[in-house]
Amino acid sequence: MSEGRKLQAYSGESLLFLTDEQLRQGIEAMFFAYRGFTADPDRILSDKGYGRAHHRAIHFINRAPGTTVNNLLSILGVTKQSLNRVLRTLIEDGLVESRVGTADKRERHLFLTDAGADLEGQLSDAQRARMRAAFRNAGPEAVAGFRKVLEAMIEPDLKRTYVRLRDSGQ
Amino acid sequence: MSEGRKLQAYSGESLLFLTDEQLRQGIEAMFFAYRGFTADPDRILSDKGYGRAHHRAIHFINRAPGTTVNNLLSILGVTKQSLNRVLRTLIEDGLVESRVGTADKRERHLFLTDAGADLEGQLSDAQRARMRAAFRNAGPEAVAGFRKVLEAMIEPDLKRTYVRLRDSGQ
DNA sequence: TTGGAATGTCAACAAGGCTGACGTAAGCTC
DNA sequence: GAGCTTACGTCAGCCTTGTTGACATTCCAA
């Protein structure tokens, strides 16, 4: 009987899960965690005169070498003028290479140079280290939940892009 | 026997959890999810000529009415000049009230006006709705894991601020 | 009472978003 | 081949939001 009550209470808690209070905590956790998430790369980048925008470009060029400008635009969700400013500096600095397409010469295919891959390595090493620490700290089951909630929060349009990328892993 | 193998395989999977591939997926999930997380408030704000910075200020003034500028600075992690610009427009527009401190006249205590509380309601309703949908979609256990990983990702300095805020809930 | 520390404001600048307009080259369709 | 469309780059100009530096006010302690 007492056991039954406990279970009922527990079950009640699960049903009460979506109180505004719980949601608010999730929102604030997301806010503060994202700061930590970007903190290490931001430090590395600012030393070199780059910003978060450069990181995003480098990350996704590394993930999908040979991607076109248009494709990158749809992943990043910015305007081409905005991306172009970033890409121009990365190309000038010799971190990214832009090759005219062979099948369709209007397209430019983007690749990291050795120097670009080197910076990418630094950035993702730092970011993975923090993610690894958080994962280890929280445990395997928590990680599965983490991913599940995050994936449910992605906008439907982007979800397709995300899944394609996710499932193209090595 | 076959059951034993399955368990072993499963356990092996759990141990393999922290491959670079898994970490990369976590990183990208975080990136895309944060876009979704801010999308709804961003839409509401841009109609009114405000940005994400205004949202952050409004959110935390609502959470801790009477907070000082300095306190808000340490929560938001920006420079006071940056915050000041945002606060000035919110005060001019009658969404935030700034009262000179009684004990220490150097301090300004910040409050939402009725209009400010109204906007705050709109913003957090929208953000909670998305969070609620994601939570419901992912299930209670996933939510616990989500929170656990996020909390482990917060920078140590901010963690104290976060926990204080979290535990001050209604 | 005076000098330093703390709090907040103002000015100026940079990064990185945005829109709009335009040019060029290449592909596609009739 | 002519004309439309697509992909990309770029110029100009705007806004938000971050930065540093200089400054006024207030408090407090030597």
Mind listing the pLDDT tens digit for each residue in B30-70?
Answer: 999 999 999 999 999 998 989 999 999 999 999 999 999 99
| Exposure string over A40-62, b if 16+ CB within 10 A, otherwise e | bbbebbeeeebeebbbbbbbbbb
Beta sheet of A108-112, edge-to-edge order: A67-68, A108-112, A96-100
pLDDT > 90 in chain A, percent? 86
pLDDT at B12 over 80: no
pLDDT at B136 over 50: yes
Residue B27: closest CA among A17, A71, A169, A106: A169
With a threshold of 0.95, tell me whether the complex ipTM lies above it.
no
pLDDT at B170 over 70: no
User: DSSP assignment, residue A16?
Assistant: G
pLDDT at A166 over 70: yes
Please tell me the distance in Å from A15's CA to the nearest CA on chain B.
9
End-to-end CA distance of chain B: 52
Q: Is the CB of B85 under 7 A from strand D?
A: yes
Residue at minimum CA to C1' distance from nucleotide C7? B106
User: Separation of CA A100 and C1' D9 in angstroms?
Assistant: 13
Q: Give CA–CA dist B85/B64, Å, rounded.
A: 20
Q: Could you say which residues 71-90 of protein chain A have a Cβ atom less than 7 A away from any atom in strand D?
A: 71, 73, 80-81, 84, 87-88
pLDDT at A130: 95
pLDDT at A17 over 70: no
**A170: pLDDT confidence band, cut at 50, 70 and 90?**
low
Residue with tokens 């910076």: A119
CATH of A19-138, picked from 3.40.50.300, 1.10.10.10, 2.40.33.20, 3.10.450.50, is 1.10.10.10
